[in-house]
Amino acid sequence: MAPRAASKTAESSDKVSVICRALRRAIIEQALEPGAKLPEDSLGERFGVSRTIARHALGQLAAEGLVELRRNRIAVVATPSWQEARDAFDIRIELERLVVRQLAGKLTKAQIATLNAHVDAEDGARGGSDPVSIRLATEFHILLAHMTNSPILVRYVSEVAYRCCLTLSLYSRPHSSECAINEHRAIIAALVKGDEGKVMSLMHSHLDSVASRALVAPAPQRGRDLLDILAPYAEEGDGDRVVKLPKVVRAR
């Protein structure tokens, strides 16, 4: 099986993809919460580009489901409904089962080392519910997808994983993800062992447990008061990476 070229899915030029990456990261690290406003001007100013580019980036992120674009209205970070979150997890389960099915018993030594290193990093950044470890946990799954060498699979797994990540900030209590790390280790072990069925069911139950830990109430009142949540971020954001919110307003 010859290694295929690692083609970039789309991510047109450069400036656009830089903004996309930055916003994606800000969103999944919950520096930008669902409902946060993303005015084209502010984005452009923050990243030193024109509105045209910022707009294009927002378009891409909207295509990924991370932001919502309403005609003539300010773009906002997407606020998936509980049902959409559930759907996303269902899809994710199927996709990631496919990933591990393709990978079982086929990992190279280098790949195994990479995976172990990543999980070690997850272990290092402990804190369970802090944004960075959530991001790392998500990236573990994306890393797996990359190893299939299937750009399409990478794209879909990434997208849906980001979406799931986004829902965690909406519907999850400060859940601990340490157990998830152990599950990651178990998945690696099963992959190395090459037991297809085992690793598929491991992945299934792993994601299922993440989902059920996260999506607790059928329809919680949107968690806490958005105003409170946003407050600490609105004034300074993350300094270097995150667009500063122009005003603190109750989103919607």
Partner DNA sequence: AGCGCCTCAATTGCATGCAGTTTGGCGCCC
Partner DNA sequence: GGGCGCCAAACTGCATGCAATTGAGGCGCT
Q: Which residues of this chain interact with a second copy, rule CB under 8 A?
A: 4, 9-10, 12-14, 16, 52, 55-56, 59-60, 62-65, 69, 71, 81, 83-84, 87-88, 90-91, 94-95, 97-98, 150-153, 155-156, 160, 163
**Which does residue 50 bind out of a second copy, DNA, none, counting CB within 5 to 8 angstroms by kind?**
DNA
Give the pair of three-digit tokens for residue 64. 């990924």
Name which of 68 and 122 has its Cβ closer to a second copy.
Answer: 68
Name which of 50 and 149 has its Cβ closer to DNA.
Answer: 50
Give the pair of three-digit tokens for residue 205. 């139950």
Give the pair of three-digit tokens for residue 187. 């998945």
**Which single residue is written with the structure tokens 């990651």?**
184
**Which does residue 39 bind out of DNA, a second copy, none, counting CB within 5 to 8 angstroms by kind?**
DNA
Residue 241 to residues 24, 46, 132, 244, Cα–Cα distance (Å): 11, 9, 14, 9
Count of residues making up the chain: 252
**Helix (H/G/I), strand (E/B), else coil: 11:** coil
Q: Which residues of this chain interact with DNA, rule CB under 7 A?
A: 12-16, 38-42, 44, 48-53, 55, 69, 71-75, 246-247, 249
Give the pair of three-digit tokens for residue 14. 């450069």
**Which does residue 223 bind out of a second copy, DNA, none, counting CB within 5 to 8 angstroms by kind?**
none
**Which does residue 249 bind out of a second copy, DNA, none, counting CB within 5 to 8 angstroms by kind?**
DNA
- Min dist CB 116 to a second copy, Å, is 26
- Min dist CB 248 to a second copy, Å, is 26
d(CA 239, CA 233): 10
**Which does residue 132 bind out of a second copy, DNA, none, counting CB within 5 to 8 angstroms by kind?**
none
**Which single residue is written with the structure tokens 């991370």?**
66
d(CA 234, CA 142): 30
Helix (H) or strand (E) holding 206: helix 196-214
- Min dist CB 102 to a second copy, Å, is 8
**Which does residue 73 bind out of a second copy, DNA, none, counting CB within 5 to 8 angstroms by kind?**
DNA
- Min dist CB 47 to DNA, Å, is 9
- Min dist CB 41 to a second copy, Å, is 17
Residue 27 to residues 76, 170, 172, 208, 216, Cα–Cα distance (Å): 11, 12, 15, 23, 21
**Which does residue 41 bind out of DNA, a second copy, none, counting CB within 5 to 8 angstroms by kind?**
DNA
- Min dist CB 98 to a second copy, Å, is 5
- Min dist CB 36 to DNA, Å, is 12
E-strand stretches of the chain: 37-38, 67-68, 75-77
Helix (H) or strand (E) holding 213: helix 196-214
Name which of 98 and 188 has its Cβ closer to a second copy.
Answer: 98
